Copies of this chain bind each other. A is one copy, B any other.
């Protein structure tokens, strides 16, 4: 593997000194970029794009050609694991994801197996290998997965949900069944992320998009517990470097202390928590990633710059901060605004990292 030319992102995750605050953006390879829309049109469906390693590599690299980003993230979807389990994933035009065979009964749960990442999810590992080769050490590559709870919401509901009636019905009425589903899923995620690391992912992130819809007790029991199980099972060193693990629960600001106890290296923080307050709570234990409201990117350049300055100031001096949005970038954002943000973060953060 070629030497890493920009390791600011990995160093910040390990709270090692950096020259300025690194930045990447959740969903940085996505619909707000015209070149993404062109590749997507060429590919066919969204899953056709995900399952074609060369095209997945192409869209992964697109934002790096435009912006001075400090990390690339594998272009894929969080639902590849349940798809590989045989649930039949599709994305209807203008709709969210759909599973042909949702998991509702004990028999459905019993049928779930742990996919072999180099067989059923080979296309993801191939994408990781192609991207690493094409990145050629420019910036590190982030691998990722959905959290078991978040995957379970789609697996049991069969689609996105506002009310979570089926999966929470299972949680309250048949908790042992949900635990079995979550355990199989956690073992699948562990194996999947370890395969991504073996294929070349230099950091991994677990997206717990829907942990925030749980009560504090249920979050610990049905979401965090399985993320901790995954962290315990991950390869933490590869190519002679530590492979940092980032946990992100959207709406999980109240639970940062519990999340820090899992032994991960960094926590993603959404914009409903002040990042300075989050640092005061857990910054002695790990790094933080975030946390600008994605809607700031609708505003004028000077306002974007001012908001970046506010967040950098709130985090304060020293390493341990990876700048990001608090959630994925929206599809109608002007790409020029992203450039303003990336350049502002690098420039305005220098005083917080004295040599």
Contacts and interface: CB of A to CB of B under 8 A. Distances in A.
Interface of A: 163-165, 168-169, 171-173, 212-219, 251, 253-254, 271-274, 277, 293-296, 298-300, 303, 307, 330, 332
B253 A303 contact: no
A172 B296 contact: yes
A311 to B, nearest CB: 10
Given A165-B330, A251-B251, A298 B217 contact: no
Contacts of A303: 172-173
Contact of A172 (B253, B254, B307): B307
Nearest to A303: B172
Count of identical protomers in the assembly: 2
Contact of A254 (B171, B216, B254, B298): B254
A295 B173 CA distance: 10
A101 to B, nearest CB: 22
A295 B164 contact: yes
A39 B158 CA distance: 33
- Greatest chain B CB density within 10 A among A215, A217, A219, A332 is at A215
15 contacts: A163-B294, A165-B295, A165-B332, A168-B293, A169-B295, A169-B298, A172-B298, A173-B299, A173-B303, A214-B293, A215-B274, A251-B272, A253-B254, A254-B254, A254-B273
A328 to B, nearest CB: 10
Contacts of A299: 169, 172-173
A159 to B, nearest CB: 15
A247 to B, nearest CB: 17
A168 B216 contact: no
A58 to B, nearest CB: 27
Nearest to A293: B215
A295 B163 contact: yes
A13 B95 CA distance: 44
Contacts of A298: 165, 168-169, 172-173
A97 to B, nearest CB: 15
A181 to B, nearest CB: 17
